[in-house]
Structure 1
Amino acid sequence: MRTAILDDVEEIRSLERRAGAPFRDVGLDAIADDDPPDVGELSAAVGDGAVFVVDAPARLAAWLWLGRADGDLLIEQVSVDPANRGRRTGTRLVEYAVTLAREAGLPGVCLTTFSEVPWNAPLYRRLGFVELAPAELGDDLRRIRDAETAAGLDISPRIAMRRPVDGP
């Protein structure tokens, strides 16, 4: 695992396209067809040191984009190439985010995700994340959820989740 560099941006976008394919298997074609992050926005995040990648022999295996929300570290995106699923690569990236939050003195890690997609909320629950009720959302997570709804991501139920850094 390493911090992404600007030369990784196009490969990250390609990886994100590949990572979307399994969403077809659960009837979420619109998510599978969703555009990867904008080059400018992704390049800015890379320049800020907020993006991490896992290398594989021929191409990137996975990537992680971090931000901040409501005083916590926010997992903006974590994606694994389908060719690398089942190797705990995504789990290692999530655990890395928890470690970074702990080292930064932040109280937790939060994210938004699909509640019923097997490699989304069910996986995060196994990693110690708990669902936040709508009343528990801070201003930042509420804005994120509103933006997701406006972008049409609520074609399948979505939730916000959080894991305290002193948790499992």
Structure 2
Amino acid sequence: MQKIIFGVLVCFTLSGTASAGEKTATVLEDMFRWWNGAFKVEGAYTAEAFGKYYTEDTVMIIDGSVRAQGLDQMSQNFNRIQKSVDSVELVMPPIETFTSGNRIFTYHKELIQQDGVKSVGYVMGYAVVKDGKIAKIDFVNMSEAAARALHEQTGD
């Protein structure tokens, strides 16, 4: 799995259009900021709210499984998450983010608290953008230990 993740990272790095020093906000980062604020407000994850950032036919794939198709399922999925954990924060800015064509690559950290227990996770993947909105998200979750091993392998 780590070799696959590293391969994806290398492919995006080689084809990326943004230089290391160049940093511009993307629709994905804007959505992350909104998501962080919405998590703190019960009922904020509505289909209409997701529609500001996502296409109507959006698809969300997490760890190889389709978790949501369309705005209604996005709303249902994140309302379920909101009710099942104490808190989640997508740490901003992402560790790494860049674009290539209509794709936005992201590698970001998330802070989670469930039943008073804090944990750290890492997420790597990409979003496909269509007409300025997210049409697809394909993310892979990693534990803190897996992320550390990846960094040791790559020397980052």
TM range (shorter): under 0.3
Give the structure with the larger helix fraction: 1
Larger % of strand: which?
2
TM-score, with structure 2 as normaliser = 0.28
Higher relative contact order (CA 8 A, sep 6+): 2
